[in-house]
Structure 1
Amino acid sequence: MPDRTHEFGKYGARGVKGSDAVARQLDELAGFIATPITQRRGLKARLNYLTRTPHALQAAHAAGLTLTDRTLKAWQTGRRRPSKANLEKIETAYRTVRRHNVARYLLQRLNSRGGTRVEIHPLNQSQVDRRFQRVLEYRTLNIRQWDTIIRAWAAGDTSALDEAWIDSIVDLGSQWGQYEYVSAVGFAA
């Protein structure tokens, strides 16, 4: 049985953790606001999203965003600009609230019809000396239960997401350790 990778990239292989690739794909499916927060339109859209409902405002406060009504109104009208630290807090709160709001929908879509097929693209070995290269191939896997993956992603818990991803790719058989690091993971909801 393969073990977890301890020294990834030692011989020049390039890629990302599979769980990070899954998180990126889920973020893409979540449909975050495309306009950067540094532009007035992007800031205003995020503030509107965070203050639209009492639930969203409460979740924003839980994510670390604390501000007065006066400050919020000044930011929304453009009379004042948030500091760089506050911009980061707004972005973090927005992403946290958006993930939480979209998680149930994604879970329903990914679990429907017996699960979702995931395409796993192996890591890039172009910089690895020939004698250290492994034979890796493109693989597909049907993940039937996304509950732990979506729960960890929505909570922003990277270690739990990594464990959930490893638990899912063990279904690849004895080669699962070769796909702990990948160049890309693709699926659709």
Structure 2
Amino acid sequence: MPERNKHFGLYGARGIKGHEAVARQLDALAAYIATPITVRRGLLARLHYLTRTDHARAAAREAGLAVTERTLKAWLEGKRSPLRQNLQRIEQAYRTVRRENIARYLLARLNREGRGTRVEIHPLNQSHVTRPRQRVVEFRTLNIRHWDRIVQAWVSGDDRGLDDAWVDQIVDLGSQWGKYEYVTNVGFAA
């Protein structure tokens, strides 16, 4: 696409890709367990989430948590502690399963029966850019009515797909949508 930035930050601008800000906001809406996995309470909460039903166990196996029932039982009873690699697998499996479980709910809330959700786009930070090189960018709002592709890409962890889906939405800002490819924050609520 012609508006895509090739050398972002060359003159000192700061920000993140818009789709990364959207992913952060969706992660915040997913309401993950706040207690770290390194604390026993956090580990138990994640293990209970991943093992409470047969469906959850199957989803955890698909997400990469492949341990025996005996090992799982020892972790839950506190007889053994998972290794660092297994803690990472548990965390990754938990986040994957949580995203899949909450996706349908989030999609319904964000689409709001075709009314959509208002998104606030905070422009990139140009405080370190010299005056002649600064662009005029201001706070913008946009109503996104179709979140399907964005949420699906977020659930599957497809960074490229999320970027494409986000860009397809921000082109509605008009001919200068490229100014909002990089942002400081994207805010919306569900």
Deviation of residue 2 (structure 1)? 4.6
Deviations 1:33-77 (A, max 9, x none): 000000000000000000111111111111111001111111112
Pairing of 1:26-175 with structure 2 (within 5 A) = 26-113=26-113, 114-175=115-176
Does the residue aligned with 2:61 lie in a helix, a strand or coil? helix
Deviation of residue 130 (structure 1)? 1.3
2:18 corresponds to 1:18: yes
Aligned partners of 1:148 and 1:123: how far apart in 2? 24
User: How does the TM-score come out when normalised to structure 2?
Assistant: 0.97
Match of 1:181 in 2: 182
**Runs of 4+ residues deviating >4 angstroms:** none
Aligned partners of 1:12 and 1:84: how far apart in 2? 38
Contact 2:3–2:177 (8 Å) recurs in 1:
no
Aligned partners of 1:54 and 1:145: how far apart in 2? 32
State which drifts further: 71-80 or 25-34.
Answer: 71-80
Contact 2:13–2:126 (8 Å) recurs in 1:
yes
Contact 1:2–1:175 (8 Å) recurs in 2:
no
Deviations 1:9-55 (A, max 9, x none): 11111111100000000011011000000000000000000011111
Aligned amino acid, residue 81 of structure 2: R
User: How does the TM-score come out when normalised to structure 1?
Assistant: 0.97
